[in-house]
Structure 1
Amino acid sequence: MEPKSTVDDTALNGIMLYCGQLGLEFKGRTPITSKVGPFGEWEKLINCPTPMSYAVGFELRSQKYQGTDTDDSAAINMKLYCSDGNVFEGYPESRNYRNARYTGPQMCSAGKGICGIQTEVEAYQFLGDDTSLNNVRVKCCNANNFYKKY
């Protein structure tokens, strides 16, 4: 996330998922990401806290087009839905972006969880208005594959 600025704020630049079999410690999971914008740094980690829970959906909060003389940011926040019913929001402080709304829940079908990610990222505009992360798509897989085999 790029810190909010008054010049050219891109807000959310990328999303990283940590994947692995349930029952393994977090440190044993593999980070995966799709394309990531060039601004900001990795910050807040949101995870499903129950040992055997996993991500089943998300919502992306985006700011609509602000006009030619105003800075656009596109994606500014994300909510993660877990199989145990928990919902986590990345940056509650992002509410100060005007004209921003959540998409509504984008959920995997029953018995499936998020296992892949694809992002739409605007290329660096050099002298133009940068938005960076614009959209997210996830892949859902059979949740039976998430459990550790003993």
Structure 2
Amino acid sequence: MGFNMMYDDNDAKEADRTGLNVINISCANRKGTRVKNQRSVQSPLGGRGHWTGDVICPRSNGIPLFLQSFELMVHEPKQSEDDTKANVVRFTCRDSHWKQQPKSIEKHIAGAKGQFGKSSEKCPKDSAICGLQSRVEGHIHHGDNTALNDVRFFCCRFK
């Protein structure tokens, strides 16, 4: 249904920015109503930062759209500068029967570095993104921290 990100954009000189730290997915039933006992799924809390705010899939002709696929913006490591690795996630929303046109949603992060990778495979009809697995770098006391490095999303069929 939607997502939120924890992002570290500390722009102080000499600061070790970590970029994207956490992804939180909002859950909903097939009618687009948030599920009370399963409000969200999120990657482990990593590093630091602030929540960027919920980004929700829009409705299309009154029909709810759901997270179906994603692209991850990644900043490739460079020895001479502060590395952040994953920086932004962009999702494609679509209705469960694929009758409506897909819509892209993302939270723009000013100054985020990197390139979007290839789009993931979309969830099958009558399903949506419902879970995730992430690779998070633990805190390094003396070195360059990157926090969230990669993510994999899983699809679940609507009940």
Counting helix residues as a fraction of each chain, which structure ranks higher?
1
- Residue 2 (1) aligns with residue 8 (2): yes
Which residue identity does 1:101 align to in structure 2?
Answer: Q
Conserved 8 A contact 1:56-1:82: yes
Deviates more, 1:79-88 or 1:130-139: 79-88
Write the distance in 2 (CA, Å) between the matches of 1:27 and 1:19. Answer: 6
* Counterpart residue number, 2:107: 90
- Once the two structures are superposed, what CA deviation does each residue of 1:42-84 show, in whole Å capped at 9, x if it has no partner? 12321111152110011100100111x3210001111010014
* Counterpart residue number, 2:72: 60
- Residue 12 (1) aligns with residue 24 (2): no
Counting strand residues as a fraction of each chain, which structure ranks higher?
2
* Counterpart residue number, 1:148: none
Change (3 A) 1:57 1:134: same
* Residue ranges of structure 2 left out of the alignment (5+ in a row): 1-6, 95-99
Identity %: 25
Change (3 A) 1:37 1:126: same
- Once the two structures are superposed, what CA deviation does each residue of 1:90-128 show, in whole Å capped at 9, x if it has no partner? 225245x2xx11111113243131011111110000121
Which residue identity does 1:80 align to in structure 2?
Answer: F
* Residue ranges of structure 1 left out of the alignment (5+ in a row): 146-150
User: Cα offset for 1:26?
Assistant: 4.1
* Counterpart residue number, 1:31: 40
Report 1 or 2 for greater relative contact order, CA contacts < 8 Å, sequence distance ≥ 6: 1
Question: Where has structure 1 moved over 3 Å in runs of 4 or more?
Answer: 24-29
- Residue 102 (1) aligns with residue 116 (2): yes
Please report the RMSD computed on the Cα atoms of aligned residues, expressed in angstroms.
Answer: 1.9
